[in-house]
Amino acid sequence: MDLDRTYLQTSAWKSNIFKGKVVFVTGGAGTICKVQTQALVLLGADAAIIGRNEAKTIKAAEELAKLRDGAKVVGIGNVDVRDVQSIANAVETTVEKLGRIDFVIAGAAGNFLSDFNHLSSNAFKSVVSIDLLGSFNTIKACFPQLRKNKGKVIFVSATLHYYGVPFQAHVGAAKAGVDALSNALAVELGPLGITCNCIAPGAIGGTEGMSRLTPPGQRPTETRVPLQRLGSTRDIADATVYLFSPAADYVTGTIQVVDGGLWHIGNMMGDLYPDVIISQGEDEHSKL
C-alpha cells in the first residue's frame, strides 16, 4: 500500500518534522523501503534511493518526488551493496546533489525459499553478502556524514532467527548478523551521537516477500497473528518515522518488531511440519 498526501491528515506526525533532513535508502525501490521513504518525504525529508536496477530506481525516485512540492529525490541505480566502493560512489553523488545525509535505511536484501538439501553454498553466501555485508558497507560508506550530522540508522531485519524456520536458514543467519551488527554499532557509535536500531517486519501484506514466502497449503497467516490481521507497509513506515523522529533521540540498540505479535506464536510452517521437510531431505539431488 503506497502512501499519498492523505498520510499528512491521518498520521500522528507533524508535517515538516523532517524538513532539511536527507535520507539515504538502499533497496529504496522495494516494496517496504519505498513506503518508508514515502513517509519521510511526505514529512519534509529529501531522499536518495539506491538500487541495482537503474530504470526501476529512477522511476521510483520520480514518483517519490511528486509526493511533496519542492521535494528532492535522487535515484541512483547500478549500485551493488556488496561492493563498498559502489556504495561510496552513491554517497558522494547524494552529498553532491542533496548536500548531506542525516538518516540511513539499510534495506537491500535477498530472499527465496530453499531447504538445506537444495541450498547451495553460493546461494547461502549471496544472501549473507547482500543482507549482512551490504548493511556493513552501507554504514561504512555513510559514516563520515553520519558522524558529521549526528545521524540515525535503521537496519531492516526480520523475525526469522527468533526460532527455527525451515527453508530460511540463509536469511535467518544473515538477519541475525544484522541484529548483532546494529547492537555493536549502537554502542560503538553512540558516543559520536549516532543511533542505530533495527526494524523487524513480520507478515506484511501486499509485499513481494509475503507472496513468495508463504508456505502453500497453510491456513491464512492472519488467523495466527494475535492482532488478527496482516501488517501493512504503513505500519513499517510509522515505526521508521518514530525511530528517526526527535521522540526517539534516546533510543538506540533496539530491535523494533512490527509483526502484530506473530513471532510469539512460533514457527510459521504450522501443520506442514515435519512432512514437508522430510520429503525435501529425502531428495537425492543435493546442491553444493
Which of the residues 21, 152, 175, 182 is marked catalytic? 175
**Residues ≥6 apart with Cβ < 8 Å to 134:** 26, 81, 82, 106, 108, 109
How is the chain split among helix, strand and coil, in percent rounded to 5?
Answer: 50, 10, 40
Is position 287 annotated as part of the catalytic site?
no
Rounded Cα gap, residues 161 and 165, in angstroms: 7
Which of the residues 114, 135, 152, 157 is marked catalytic? 157
Rounded Cα gap, residues 220 and 92, in angstroms: 45
CA angle 31–26–186, rounded 5-degree value: 115
Is position 15 annotated as part of the catalytic site?
no
Cell digits of residue 244 = 528517526
Which residues are identified as catalytic? 157, 175
